[in-house]
């Protein structure tokens, strides 16, 4: 499949509209193609800017756009310009959808879906899910020290395969795993312990790589990073320096 075909899927992937198989193929291509990765990052930035704009789309805009397209057609567009508009089509489509949504004041549910990747909301979800786990009698749904027991348990429950590692030698003892929700999507959670401190590691697919970032919300330490096609968020009341060791061990390879 060509880059242009994958680029046409970037917008639907950002809106969680792609089937699992197409999403995985697109993520794999973005991880290997620097140009498509840059296009996806630009699309994400465009989405964030448009979501905060809250501007009313002029009623005359569709008519002006159609008139401009008709004028360009009459004058004759040279081949390089045609290629430019062909590549820009996914951005124009996505921008039109977002502007329309802002113009009609979308419902709270739609607004939540559009802003689920906002960092503050993710931090809030991760903290809430970690606290829920601490309050329960058992914070895992599958309890085992064996990665060959925990990893297969997620099969059929998620549309991706999470990274599961035994980090006992590194000082992080695997307790088990469970399912949870972050940003409106189902995610995998691995639970480790270190010096009686419980650590929840939330995992879900990601199309780009990011370096570890630390925050300290509500008395917890939290570190997030993206690598090997997966995003990781680890949270605990463990000391910051010790928690920052986790990104060195998860995952074990650069590409998934």
Residue 81 has pLDDT above 60, yes or no: no
Distance (Å, rounded) from C-alpha 102 to C-alpha 94? 13
Residue 85 has pLDDT above 70, yes or no: no
Question: Which stretch of 35-39, 184-188, 225-229 has the lowest confidence by average pLDDT?
Answer: 35-39
**Percentage of the chain with pLDDT > 90?**
39
The pLDDT assigned to 116 comes to: 40
Most confident stretch, 23-32, 184-193, 209-218? 184-193
Which pLDDT band holds residue 53 (cuts at 50, 70, 90)?
low
Give 49 or 27, the one with higher predicted confidence. Answer: 27
User: 202 vs 136, 181, 199, CA distance in Å?
Assistant: 17, 9, 10
The residues, ordered by sequence, that sit 6+ positions from 20 with a Cβ below 8 Å of its Cβ are: 159, 160
Domain boundaries, the chain: 3-113, 116-248
Report the DSSP beta bridge partners of residue 222.
215, 235
Residue 39 has pLDDT above 70, yes or no: yes
Residue 212 has pLDDT above 50, yes or no: yes
The pLDDT assigned to 41 comes to: 82
Residue 20 has pLDDT above 90, yes or no: no
pTM over 0.75: no
The pLDDT assigned to 110 comes to: 46
Residue 210 has pLDDT above 60, yes or no: yes
Residues 117-143, mean pLDDT to the nearest whole number: 89
Which pLDDT band holds residue 79 (cuts at 50, 70, 90)?
low
The pLDDT assigned to 83 comes to: 61
Distance (Å, rounded) from C-alpha 51 to C-alpha 229? 25
CATH code for 116-248? 3.30.200.100
H or E stretch covering 6: helix 3-14
Distance (Å, rounded) from C-alpha 41 to C-alpha 36? 9
């Amino acid at each position: 499949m060509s880059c242009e075909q994958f680029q046409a899927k970037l917008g639907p992937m950002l809106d969680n509209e792609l089937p699992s198989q197409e999403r995985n193929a697109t993520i794999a291509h973005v991880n290997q193609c620097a140009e498509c990765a840059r296009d996806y990052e630009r699309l994400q930035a465009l989405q964030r800017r448009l979501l905060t704009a809250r501007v009313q789309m002029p009623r005359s805009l569709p008519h002006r756009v159609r008139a401009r397209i008709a004028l360009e057609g009459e004058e004759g567009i040279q081949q390089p310009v045609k290629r430019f508009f062909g590549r820009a089509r996914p951005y124009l489509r996505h921008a039109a959808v977002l502007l329309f949504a802002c113009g009609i004041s979308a419902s709270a549910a739609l607004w939540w879906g559009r802003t689920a990747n906002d960092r503050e909301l993710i931090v809030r979800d991760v903290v809430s899910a970690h606290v829920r786990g601490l309050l329960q009698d058992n914070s895992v749904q599958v309890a085992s020290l064996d990665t060959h027991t925990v990893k297969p348990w997620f099969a059929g429950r998620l549309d991706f395969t999470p990274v599961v590692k035994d980090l006992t030698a590194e000082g992080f003892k695997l307790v088990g795993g469970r399912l949870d929700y972050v940003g409106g999507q189902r995610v995998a959670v691995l639970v480790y312990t270190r010096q009686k401190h419980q650590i929840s590691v939330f995992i879900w697919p990601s199309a780009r790589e990011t370096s570890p970032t630390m925050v300290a919300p509500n008395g917890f330490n939290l570190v997030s990073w993206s690598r090997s096609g997966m995003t990781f968020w680890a949270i605990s009341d463990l000391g910051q320096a010790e928690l920052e060791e986790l990104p060195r061990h998860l995952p074990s390879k650069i590409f998934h």
